[in-house]
Amino acid sequence: MYNTCFSLVFNEVIKFNQMKNAALVILFLFCSILGFSQESKWVFFTENQEPFYLYINNQLQNRVPLQQVEADHLVLKEYQVTIEFKDITLGVIRQNIKTKKERETVYVVYNNGGVDYEVDLYVKAKRGVYSPGVKVPQIADYEGYKGKVGCAQPVSEAKVNELVETLEGYTFGDQGAESIRAFIKNHCVTVAQFKKMLKTVDFEDNKLSLAKYAYSYVFDRENYYLIHNLFDYPYSVEDLNNYIGNRP
């Protein structure tokens, strides 16, 4: 009887150890999966408040250009980061960055004193002033357009028509060109609205100069080809496309 009792106890101990080992294996696997899936978060901001688009592994993070952009749910060890400024004359930054597990990491984008911009850890570079939180403006629903936008809320047609009426009263073409440039800088316009303005400009060179300038500001950038028929010469369209396409 003693042996029988001992055997029962021994068997139960073995079963308990087996269950405990199985539980430990499951716990280990769970912790391993959890460890690999720890999410990191990045925040990028520009020292001088230049709006930009952020791409993580070629995936656009913000449809409208912002001065500060967040990227979260980062689970890979390294990502390709691309920063494309709203003002296309400022160029594009491409850089591979390693993640830091379970951490929010802040990066500052700044001009190094020349023509190039750099990305560095905020705590290391000690440039600019970082404020937590990102305000994302509501993007207008414009004719079903879903592409990247240069601004969030296009100006009213009434304001555009008022400007066009003024432009048509100018005697000299350069007066109109300067007025259009100032209006675009201070208002969000669609390609269709810009096209109305461009129709009032007589000289081809002025049209081309304005078209190059306006690209960085228009709402629906991907519709920019719609202004091509306003040019008198094919080489003007080619020049415009090269200017836009050859940005760094």
CATH of the domain at 106: 2.60.40.2890
Residues 115 and 47 in one domain: yes
Give domain status of residue 102, yes or no. yes
> What's the domain count of the chain?
2
Residues 162 and 93 in one domain: no
Give domain status of residue 132, yes or no. no
Q: Which strands sit side by side in the sheet containing 92-98, from one edge to the other?
A: 59-60, 52-56, 78-85, 92-98
Is 216 a residue whose pLDDT tops 90?
yes
Give domain status of residue 212, yes or no. yes
Residues 109 and 165 in one domain: no
Q: Write down the residue that tokens 């800088």 correspond to.
A: 185
Q: Which of 70, 105, 125 is the last residue of a domain?
A: 125
Give domain status of residue 176, yes or no. yes
Predicted confidence at residue 236, as pLDDT, reads 97
Give domain status of residue 86, yes or no. yes
Residues 118 and 186 in one domain: no
Q: Of 56, 51, 41, give the one whose Cα is nearest residue 100.
A: 41
Predicted confidence at residue 135, as pLDDT, reads 87
- Quickly state the pLDDT bin for 18 (edges 50, 70, 90): low
User: Across 149-231, where does the E strand assignment appear?
Assistant: none
- Quickly state the pLDDT bin for 69 (edges 50, 70, 90): very high
Give domain status of residue 148, yes or no. no
From CA 22, how far away is CA 146, in angstroms rounded?
A: 51
From CA 160, how far away is CA 154, in angstroms rounded?
A: 10
Residues 121 and 161 in one domain: no
* Structural domain harbouring 189: 157-245
Is 102 a residue whose pLDDT tops 90?
no
From CA 73, how far away is CA 98, in angstroms rounded?
A: 14
Which amino acid is residue 197, in one-letter code? M
Predicted confidence at residue 134, as pLDDT, reads 84
Which amino acid is residue 66, in one-letter code? L
Residues 177 and 121 in one domain: no
Predicted confidence at residue 247, as pLDDT, reads 57
Give domain status of residue 234, yes or no. yes
Predicted confidence at residue 173, as pLDDT, reads 60
Q: Which of 76, 103, 125 is the last residue of a domain?
A: 125
Give domain status of residue 186, yes or no. yes
pLDDT in tens, 154-186: 999 999 999 999 999 887 667 889 999 999 999
